Amino acid sequence: MEAKKSPEADLEKRKGSFMLIGLLTALAVTLVGFEWTTFEKRNDEMGQLEMDFLEEEVIPASITPPPPPPPPPAPTTVLEIVDDEEEVEEVEMVDTEIKEDTKVEIIKREEVVEEEQIFTIVEDMPSFPGGEAELFKYLGKSIKYPQMAQDASISGVVYVTFVVGKDGKISDAKVLRGIGGGCDEEALRVVRAMPTWKPGKQRGKPVTVQYNLPIRFTLR
């Protein structure tokens, strides 16, 4: 007896629908597979973050330098031990006791004397007592024309320099330029015999001054 099929159970009528559903399902799975692969790839490219980790710089702690080594110890004096039998040179003892007959040598220190400054030009120049007029009178009376100069007809000016001290006394008379015939010696004699001058002054105080004096010898 042949079995009868129900028209609702007949699958031949739905064969086309099933095939279409299967194709759509396969296409959907394929599309999903492609989309999933692409998403994972993009996710890997965009999600990776490369970071360079910098090593932390280590700052060395300040190290205190070690203290300098101590100086070497001073050399110790080596004592030489001498045997009792060895002879030792005798040391002569000097008697430092002062007795009545002891001679004491006294060393005298020379005092350093500062040289006095000698001026050539000062505010108030030294002057002969009574002024220049009295000086010319003194020279005219005191000078004696040397006989040698008269016989040789020698005349001219003898320039004499001398120092007038703070006390007005004349010292260190010298001839700067002479004419000879005994006139130079006569000029020095007269200058050294002059009376005390009025001393020169600088800022109101008497000072030592070097003075130049021309003395003329004229034959008549």
pLDDT digits (tens, 9 = 90+) for 52-77: 444 555 555 555 667 777 777 766 66
In which element (H, E) is residue 170 found? strand 170-177
User: Into how many domains does the chain fold?
Assistant: 1
* Residue 188, domain member (yes or no): yes
| 42 pLDDT higher than 50 | no
Q: Decide if 18 is inside a domain.
A: no
pLDDT digits over 172-199, tens only? 999 999 999 999 999 999 999 999 999 9
Task: Establish if 97 belongs to a structural domain.
Answer: no
Across all residues in the chain, what is the average pLDDT? 77
**Percentage of the chain exceeding pLDDT 90:** 45
In 3D, which of 177, 167, 160 has the Cα closest to residue 209? Answer: 167
- Kindly state whether residue 28 falls inside one of the protein's structural domains: no
Alpha helices in 48-169 (DSSP H): 132-142, 147-151
CATH number at residue 208: 3.30.1150
Q: Residue 164 contacts by C-beta under 8 Å, 6 or more apart in sequence?
A: 126, 170, 197, 199, 200, 208, 209, 210, 211
Q: Report residue 83's pLDDT band, with 50, 70 and 90 as the boundaries.
A: low
Q: Which pLDDT value is given to residue 17?
A: 75
Which among 35, 15, 37 is positioned nearest to 27, based on CA atoms?
Answer: 35
Amino acid at residue number 166: K
Q: Is residue 146 part of a domain?
A: yes
Classify residue 206: in a domain, yes or no: yes
Answer yes or no: is 46 within a domain: no
Q: Which domain holds residue 166?
A: 124-217
pTM, 2 dp:
0.48
Is 2 within a domain?
no
The amino acid at 197: W
